[in-house]
Amino acid sequence: MRLTLRQLSYFLALAEERHFGRAAERVHVTQPALSMQIREMEETLDAALFERHPREIRLTAEGREVELRARRILAEVTELEATARQRGLARRVNLGVIPTVAPYLLPEVLPMLRARDITRDLRVREATTDILLAALDRGQIDAAVIAAPQGVAGLKLVPLFSDRFLLAGRASVLAGVGTEALRPVSLDPDRLLLLDEGHCLADQALEVCGMDRRQARLDLGASSLTTLCGLAGQGLGMTFLPEIAWAKEQAAVPGLAVRRFAAPEPARQIVLSRRATSSASDWLDDLAGTLAHAGETLTGQARSAVPA
């Protein structure tokens, strides 16, 4: 009996989830069907790949070796499929974008992309960074627009633009911060509004402020910048607002004011990420150029309207 790509994908799902039920749900099969495929795989290799415990399963030494090889094999298959898609008539590209970028950048970018290449089938998925990186690794998307991650191997990162952070809140609240040089570490954690856990913008805000999430008492678990800006505009606290979001949120939220931080201003680097093993294409290069142009336009507007 020979190994199949299906068995390898089931094996990786189980290796990552460490739970038969969750792994079966992830690959959209029943738990008995997944268990049978794993057993057949172990019989074919004549090796136990998992240690089975009542509440958890763990990879054996043989299982860890198989995991490394399975990832390489499936990555090659993914690239083969991606190449075939690019040569096909539809030429579909699956793009992921984080939620603190998508609502502001995509309305600028999509009309330009459609005007340049109406034959391209562009599919966009909005999700947090960890979900997009996992989808990129599995070959479910071809590229992702994210804030530059730390310590993630196997990625090719194309810098797009630098997105500085503004401090947003009601004018009366911002006035209470003081008139001296504004620095993130001087902010009162009791007044800081954060996005829900899993959003990289919240982690970046806490990092530049030298805080952890437990110190931010107004952590309301909001899932969007629009929600945070609405609360900040009502005087309920302050939040970090990326420059690309400034124009849209300023127009949408009456009473929302912003202040610029003193140099060096806190910022995030927005990048287009793809698998390092994937073959570059002219269209992805064009996509990066369009994204960069749109991002620089939006940040430039914010810098002109809110000078240092």
| 293 has pLDDT over 80 | yes
Last-in-domain residue among 84, 105, 124: 84
Would you state the pLDDT for residue 185? 80
Report CA 206 to chain centroid distance, whole Å. 17
Together in a domain, 158 and 33: no
Would you state the pLDDT for residue 79? 75
| 154 has pLDDT over 70 | yes
Would you state the pLDDT for residue 249? 93
Together in a domain, 27 and 150: no
Number of structural domains (the chain) is 2
Closest CA to 137 of 190, 72, 183: 72
Instruction: Calculate mean pLDDT across residues 30-57.
Output: 90
Instruction: Calculate mean pLDDT across residues 102-128.
Output: 82
pTM above 0.95, yes or no: no
Would you state the pLDDT for residue 117? 63
Together in a domain, 79 and 109: no
* CATH number of domain containing 49: 1.10.10.10
Together in a domain, 129 and 211: yes
Query: What is the full DSSP assignment across 66-114?
Result: HHHHHHHHHHHHHHHHHHHHHHSSS-EEEEEE-TTTHHHHHHHHHHHHH
pLDDT in tens, 12-36: 999 988 999 889 998 889 999 999 9
| 220 has pLDDT over 70 | no
Last-in-domain residue among 84, 115, 139: 84
Together in a domain, 124 and 245: yes
> Which position has the higher pLDDT, 279 or 277?
277
Together in a domain, 289 and 227: yes
The 10 Å CB-count burial string (b at 16+, else e) for 249-286 is: bbeebeebbbbbbeeebbbbebbbbbbeebeebebbee
Q: Which helix (H) or strand (E) holds 228?
A: helix 225-233
Would you state the pLDDT for residue 255? 86
Together in a domain, 93 and 65: no
Together in a domain, 280 and 225: yes
* Lowest-confidence segment of 117-126, 146-155, 245-254 by average pLDDT: 117-126
| 307 has pLDDT over 60 | yes
Would you state the pLDDT for residue 284? 80
Q: How confident is the model at residue 90 (pLDDT cuts 50, 70, 90)?
A: very low
Together in a domain, 24 and 156: no
Last-in-domain residue among 60, 84, 108: 84
* Lowest-confidence segment of 5-9, 109-113, 123-127 by average pLDDT: 109-113
| 206 has pLDDT over 60 | yes
What is the domain extent for residue 222?
88-308
Together in a domain, 149 and 63: no
Together in a domain, 52 and 143: no
> Which position has the higher pLDDT, 101 or 195?
101
Together in a domain, 181 and 295: yes
Would you state the pLDDT for residue 218? 53
CA pair distance 174, 177, nearest whole angstrom: 5
* CATH number of domain containing 132: 3.40.190.290
